[in-house]
Chain A
Amino acid sequence: MAEIVIDPVTRIEGHLRIEAKVDGGKVTKAYSSGTMFRGIELILKGKDPREAWIWTQRICGVCTSVHAHTSVYAVEDALGIEIPPNAALIRDLIAGAQYIQDHVIHFYHLHALDWVDVTGALKADPEATSKLAQSISPWPKSSTEYFKGVQARVKKLVDSGQLSLMASGYWGHPAYALPPEADLMAVAHYLEALEWQREVIKIHAVLGGKNPHLQTYLVGGMASAVDPNSPNVINWERIGFIAERIKQMRDFVEQVYVPDVKAVASFYPEWWKIGAGHKNYLTYGAMQSGNRTDESKFAFNRGIIVGGDLSNVVKLDQKKITEAIAHSYYTYEGANQALHPWDGQTNPKYTGPTPPYDALNTDSQYSWLKSPRYDGKPMEVGPLARMLVAYASGNARVQEIVNGALTELKLDAGALFSTLGRVAARALETVYMLDKMDEWLKALSTNIESGDLRIHDGSKWDPSTWPDEAEGWGFHEAPRGALGHWIKIKNKKIENYQAVVPSTWNAGPRDADGVPGPYEASLEGTPVADPDRPLELLRTIHSFDPCLACAVHVVDATGKERVRVEVR
């Protein structure tokens, strides 16, 4: 029996360690560990609730805005503040731009190299690549000359030893199945996506003041003024700028990203059957345009699917969410039973081995992540959960997009419970999100035209208007999945603050009953051709788009390996 350790998993944000036991060429058991403590909750205690979002933005280095977004909603929920429609629309536009940029970056720069062999691109025939590209998309950059140029660029990078950010793939691995022409096409789009993401994320600079840490959030609304007749605020010129960027997003998503996902997937049919896990999915629903209660207005449906049963969407009650710590490096005062986040505690108590170590003690505590559960059950969150819940809830546009793709790929809906299902759902929800972006921008323009320039409700800004005690729940669907912030306010200060982030749902350890978390369950049964180079495990882990304790990074100049693979 082989034991595989991947620590840290590459091409993800933050620190994740996977230990997998392999027997007969397949994973029999897997353990997922967050190896870093994230203690934002301790820093927030005693602070002014109105500035919580500034701190929570620092939870994550990449999705800074999603934590600001969720935090202001949590405080508004606690204090009973209704924000003006324009503020809600601007928050949604920021969130939508984040989705689209994030999903494209995830596919090309964090995940594609699990499927695409960069060195394969060097063997491709540029003319055949051009034919392939033109057969799947009208995207104009697809001539023989163009692919010749890309190939020369890649050759130069490989020859110079400066492959840099593409250096972490398992080049030449037998599990790579694309023909060289598809490799070259994907590498060309990898480079184009770098250029593209740079342009489109300028939406954040326009709406958020600056990027990466946006400055325009405000409890009660937004701090960005809206006025058609004024420079340096959100005016017609800026609306036009955003509309152009959305168009640019749509062109790339529809003509490059989605066709590439379908093309790559067509060479890996077995991956529609691998990596499902528990088939439990949870969404909070989101992009609620300011209203916190009317679920029918949410752009993404809210609900739960249990055991892959698409005929029944269970209604979500956030009070049924708990976090267990049976296998986590924490202690709770009193008994160590699972707690709802309002009563949640963050008392670190490391009981693991002293680093550097060979193996985690998986019988006792082995992760800095807690184990979130809904009604006692582990739940997968993220694009696949959102698409499945929307699909099963009768969301007509989502059904149209998903059914179209399934027909084209000759699959039934059950194939979505898989590693490739996650990859496909991410691409398809990007298409859905583009429609929403158009809708929100149009609604904002209509409001401005009709003279509604309200952007902030300051009626409860003054703490003297607050009750002595209040509690609130801010929810969001971040690109990586359901994100919740729970706050308790007492005597105008934060009494307790708990964030349950998407990767905690997905990457959390076993609970007190020994039931594995979603990563752990999804890895069981995964075939592993070469335990020294466990590419197949990375495919499934990366399909979740992991993001762990992602607010820490250190430049490592000692040249040490990032992936340590051990076979025992």
Chain B
Amino acid sequence: MTHRRYGILGLGNRIEQDEALGALVIERFRDDPTLMGRLPAPDTVELIDGGTVGLGLMPYLTGLDGLLVVDVINNNREPGELIDLDGLDVIRKDVVMSVHDLGAGELLGALYVMEQWPRRVRVIGLEPKFIGLGLELTPPVAAALPGLIQELLRYLAEWQREDGAAG
């Protein structure tokens, strides 16, 4: 099967400590070719540093076979705990997502109402410890970062396997 496309969309602001998570994950992949090398077909995976932008990212996400949205997630857990949500749950109207209206939840909502929902969407991230001015992740979030990356690799490998078998 050719022309499969998957995306990792990292959201976050680099100057707000744990809020930088998504952006830092993208940076990790870009800086470490061996990470990408561990994917069966790295050229099918797009890395998107979304910053904090919402609707402007739509063009990058249309038509994907699988989308992993990486962000810090408030879920009243221990700092650094891995949280993994189905994209459709994220846009349900009774689970309001981002604190501003054109954030990750609204971006996904827009893809949904435009009938351009990627075939699979997971929203994966870590519970933050602290969001405030600063350039470093807090220790529990930094310690959990490698596990988060493993989880992203696992999803991509699983999707590629499924699509390969189907194709």
Q: Are A557 and B95 in contact (CB under 8 A)?
A: yes
Does B71 count as interface, using CB distance less than 8 angstroms? yes
Chain A CB within 10 Å, residue with most, of B16, B49, B62: B16
Which residue from chain B places its CB closest to the CB of A158 in the assembled complex?
A: B93
Known: A164-B113, A212-B50. A559 touches B106 (CB 8 A): no
**Is B33 in the interface zone, CB < 8 Å from A?**
no
B:119-152 near A, CB below 8 Å: 123, 125, 128, 131-133, 135
Tell me if B83 is interfacial: C-beta within 8 Å of chain A.
yes
Report the Cα distance A112→B51, complex, angstroms.
26
Cβ contact within 8 Å between B101 and A62: no
Q: Quick check: B15 and A553 within 8 Å, CB to CB?
A: no
Roughly how many angstroms separate A202 CA and B96 CA in the complex, as a whole number? Answer: 30
A558's partner among B75, B91, B115, B128 (CB-CB below 8 A) is B75
A13 to B83, CA, bound (A): 25
- Asked, given contacts A164-B93, A164-B108, whether A213 binds B15 with beta carbons under 8 Å apart, the answer is no
Closest B residue, CB atoms, query A62? B53
Q: Closest CB-CB distance, A184 to chain B, in whole Å? A: 15
Dominant SS at the A interface?
loop
| Contact (Cβ within 8 A) A555 B106 | no
Which residue of chain A is the closest to B16 with respect to CB atoms?
A552
For chain B residues 28-51, which have a beta carbon within 8 Å of chain A? 49-51
Check if A11 is an interface residue, CB within 8 A of chain B.
yes
CB <8 Å contact, B102 and A13 = yes
A556 partner residues in chain B, CB cutoff 8 A: 73-74, 96-99
A157 vs B112: C-alpha distance when bound (angstroms): 9
| B109 and A164 within 8 A (CB) | yes
CA distance A303 to B9 in the complex (A): 43
Contact check, A194 vs B93: say whether CB atoms are below 8 A apart: no
Interchain CB contact under 8 A, B73 and A554: yes
B167: chain A residues at CB < 8 Å are none
Q: How far is the CA of A395 from the CA of B131 in the complex (A)?
A: 46
Cross-chain contact A12 with B100 (CB below 8 angstroms): yes
In the assembled complex, the Cα of A165 lies from the Cα of B98 at a distance in Å of 11
Contacts of B105 in A (CB 8 A): 164-165, 555
Cα distance, A164 to B92, chains bound together (Å): 6
Question: Which residue of B is nearest A197, CB measured?
Answer: B55
| Chain A residues within an 8 Å CB radius of B52 | 60-62, 550-553
Do the beta carbons of A553 and B99 come within 8 Å of each other?
yes
Q: How far is the CA of A559 from the CA of B59 in the complex (A)?
A: 28
B residues contacting A by CB (< 8 A) are: 11, 13-16, 19, 49-59, 62, 71-76, 83, 85, 88, 90-106, 108-110, 112-115, 123, 125, 128, 131-133, 135
Counting from the closest, the 5 A-B pairs by CB-CB distance are A61-B52, A164-B109, A165-B109, A167-B93, A212-B53
List 11 contacting pairs A-B, 8 Å CB cutoff, sorted by A: A8-B99, A43-B133, A62-B102, A105-B55, A109-B102, A162-B91, A164-B92, A167-B93, A201-B56, A554-B19, A555-B123
Given contacts A191-B113, A557-B75, 12 further A-B contacts (CB under 8 A): A58-B13, A61-B13, A62-B54, A162-B93, A164-B91, A165-B101, A165-B106, A201-B59, A553-B71, A554-B98, A556-B74, A557-B83
